[in-house]
Amino acid sequence: MDAQDTRASQTMRSVRLFVILCATTLALPLVGASQAASAALTQGVRAYDDLEFEQAAGLLRRALAVQGKDALSAADVSRALSYLAATELLRDRRDSARAIARRLVIQNPRFRPDELVFPPQLLLLYEVVRRATPAVTGHAAADTAIRPGSEAMAMTLYASSVHDIAAALVALDGRVVRTLYRGPIGDSLAVRWNGLDSAGTSPPPSGSYVLTVSSFNRDGRVARILRMPVEVLPGPTDTLPHPATPADTVLLPERRPMGPALRVLAPGVLGGVGVAVLPGLVARGEKPSGARFALGGAVTLASIAAFVSHRPGRQIPANVVHNRGIHAWQNAVADVARRNAERGRGLIGVRTGVPVILTPDGTGP
């Protein structure tokens, strides 16, 4: 019985071990897929430094193949391509190295390999490929506002080598809205659009456009096209901030009201007149006494004194100061609205997107 228990226990341990091995094997691809491309790039560079070129090539290609949130940044893509080109060149695969160098030029025309890191043969190969691969990349402000005709938005172009380009603002249907430049480009060039259409009289309608830059080879044929999305928007309505709203915007009375004083005066005057006159009206023929007139006069004078003590129509200093602050805020709001209307008159908004480099048939690099 003990032997059977022992065999059963060993069998269960073997089954558990088998399950764990299977689970580990199935999880390996998931771990590799979720691994950041930067880790593969680091390992590839280390393998290159250790002269393990076969391993370096595999790691660098794996890093470049990662897509999505774990993909390499643009700078790391350039770094990976430069090391991969050097690796292929040192493996005596010149055609592959040349193709990778060409991909690097198109991906980043401004890139130059580090002379302290890479061998002279790679630097020479890259220089030859760069001069034979006309391409540009560009940068423009993501959001800006211009006054058409007197102001302009600028797009800075960076070239791989000296070649001819043609830049234009194009509608989505292919219609040229405005030709911006045609001629040579050296290291860099600023292309400007003043916000007007081809007639030079008015801005194009609000909507989506594309700023295209075509690179020509030595035969005059289009070798590469840079496309940057451009959206023309109505001019901004507010360019200056409004002043802060006061805690209390209710206007207060600046003078003491007449109502409370009149409510004190009227009964007294009527009472005094009643004391002096009413007895004579009730008892006709009775001669009024001086005391009755004195009492009526005293009541009337007392009511007049109470009326004066209420100071009707007198300014209330605290309320005057309060209202002055509100009036100043209202005037400031009106002034900002007026200035914003003046500043926004004739303005258009320009929003640009991420540029994309295409070959003439519309495919990628």
Do 221 and 163 meet the contact criterion of CB atoms below 8 Å apart? Answer: no
pLDDT of residue 24: 43
**Residue 178, beta-bridge partner list:** 169
Neighbours of 223 (CB within 10 A): 18
Tell me: the pLDDT tens digits for 147-197? 898 899 999 999 999 999 999 999 999 999 999 999 999 999 999 999 999
pLDDT of residue 237: 58
**Residues of the chain under the 50 pLDDT cut:** 1, 15, 17-21, 23-34, 281-283, 362-364
Task: Give residue for tokens 């691969």.
Answer: 133
Do 210 and 226 meet the contact criterion of CB atoms below 8 Å apart? Answer: no
* CATH code for the structural domain at 136-233+348-358: 2.60.40.4070
Task: Give residue for tokens 């090391």.
Answer: 83
pLDDT of residue 280: 54
pLDDT of residue 102: 94
Tell me: the pLDDT tens digits for 335-345? 877 776 656 55
CB burial of residue 257 (10 Å; 0-12, 13-18, 19+): exposed
Per DSSP, the residues of 121-174 read HHHHHHHHHHHT---EEEEE-SEEEE-BTTB-EEEEEEESSSEEEEEEEEETTS
Claim: this prediction has a pTM higher than 0.75: no
pLDDT of residue 34: 39
pLDDT of residue 46: 95
How far is 185 from 206, CA to CA, in rounded Å? Answer: 30
How far is 267 from 306, CA to CA, in rounded Å? Answer: 11
Domain extent listing, the chain = 35-131, 136-233+348-358, 259-344
pLDDT of residue 190: 95
